[in-house]
């Protein structure tokens, strides 16, 4: 596609349920990033992938959060046993490579945990 796409655009779930957020990066982009943006806040860096590898997972807020990337393309961010404080917009971005600094962002997934 022309840009980074994310699905779903909005997700409402009940506390305790698992959710899976998807990111389709721009074709050919080897680097992929996940961020969380809470209401009125800046972006919180969660994790990045170079290819299928995530060298540093320390930015993930808790062990309920996990992310994977397969085939060097699509990535999924999974949140298990969701809590109300997980409510936020989750943004994905991709870039040609780690040495290329221009990240292209997707439109985000707005997650609401009731």
Partner 1 sequence: AQTVTQSQPEMSVQEAETVTLSCTYDTSESDYYLFWYKQPPSRQMILVIRQEAYKQQNATENRFSVNFQKAAKSFSLKISDSQLGDAAMYFCAYRSTGNQFYFGTGTSLTVIP
- Contact call for residues 45 and 59 (beta carbons, < 8 A): yes
The least distance separating partner 1 from the CB of residue 16, rounded to whole angstroms, comes to 27
Residues 22-51 contacting partner 1, CB under 8 A = 31, 33, 35, 40-45, 48, 50
Candidates 26, 67, 79, 93: give the one binding partner 1 (CB under 8 A). Answer: 93
C-alpha distances (whole Å) from 26 to each of 4, 20, 96, 102 are 5, 20, 9, 12
Question: Which run of H or E residues covers position 79?
Answer: strand 75-79
Q: Give residues in contact with partner 1 (CB under 8 A).
A: 31, 33, 35, 40-45, 48, 50, 55-56, 59, 89, 91, 93, 98, 101-103, 105, 107-108
């Amino acid at each position: 596609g022309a840009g980074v796409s994310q699905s779903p655009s909005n997700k409402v779930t009940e506390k305790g349920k698992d959710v899976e957020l998807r990111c389709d990066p721009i074709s050919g982009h080897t680097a992929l990033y996940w961020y969380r943006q809470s209401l009125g806040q800046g972006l919180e860096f969660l994790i990045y992938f170079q290819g299928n590898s995530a060298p540093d997972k320390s930015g993930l807020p808790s062990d309920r959060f996990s992310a994977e990337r397969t085939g060097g393309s699509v990535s999924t961010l999974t949140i298990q046993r969701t809590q109300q404080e997980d409510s936020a917009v989750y943004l994905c971005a991709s870039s040609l490579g780690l040495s290329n600094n221009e990240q292209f962002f997707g439109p985000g997934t707005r997650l609401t945990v009731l």
